[in-house]
Amino acid sequence: MGGAVSAGEDNDELIDNLKEAQYIRTDLVEQAFRAIDRADYYLEEFKENAYKDLAWKHGNIHLSAPCIYSEVMEALDLQPGLSFLNLGSGTGYLSSMVGLILGPFGVNHGVELHSDVTEYAKQKLDVFIRTSDSFDKFDFCEPSFVTGNCLEIAPDCCQYDRVYCGAGVQKEHEEYMKNLLKVG
């Protein structure tokens, strides 16, 4: 999925295109997208594709298309202080953008099946915190990434205000997934 928005030359142009196509509709989501350069979450040899509205996968490392992430962030109606669970958290790009909105009193957890991807996300997060000019402009809810199977989260685990699952959920697991959400 993706490709609905033309490719940009840089992160700002990509976001301008997402806004023009009305994938990004709120200032909060726009600010989060502009604060984190999508290319920073790519492997060096694939960065020329970072500003295309396309999904990217290399081995276990994966990123959804920007139009998908913008639709997700808009639909979740993220607000400061909420709790967020990202199932299949991948590179940590989405979780990091969400953390810019949740602020210091939010909860930001990511579960990823593959340990190499969890380590990749932790490295990308560390680079963002150490080097980004944007980091100092936000009260950040730092994502916490763990390796695991999202279908094996303990049933007595905390519940979340918002849950995103980047993959399809089979019918027999639907109730299990719903139990990860707080009532209301």
Q: What residues are annotated to the active site?
A: 64
What does the alpha-carbon distance between residue 114 and residue 20 come to, in Å, rounded to a whole number? Answer: 35
Q: Where are the alpha helices (DSSP H) in the chain?
A: 11-20, 27-35, 66-75, 93-102, 115-131, 174-178
Tell me, rounded to whole angstroms, the distance of Cα 123 from its chain centroid.
15
Q: Are strands 61-63 and 144-147 parallel, antiparallel or unpaired?
A: unpaired
Q: Do residues 113 and 88 touch, judged by C-beta distance below 8 A?
A: yes
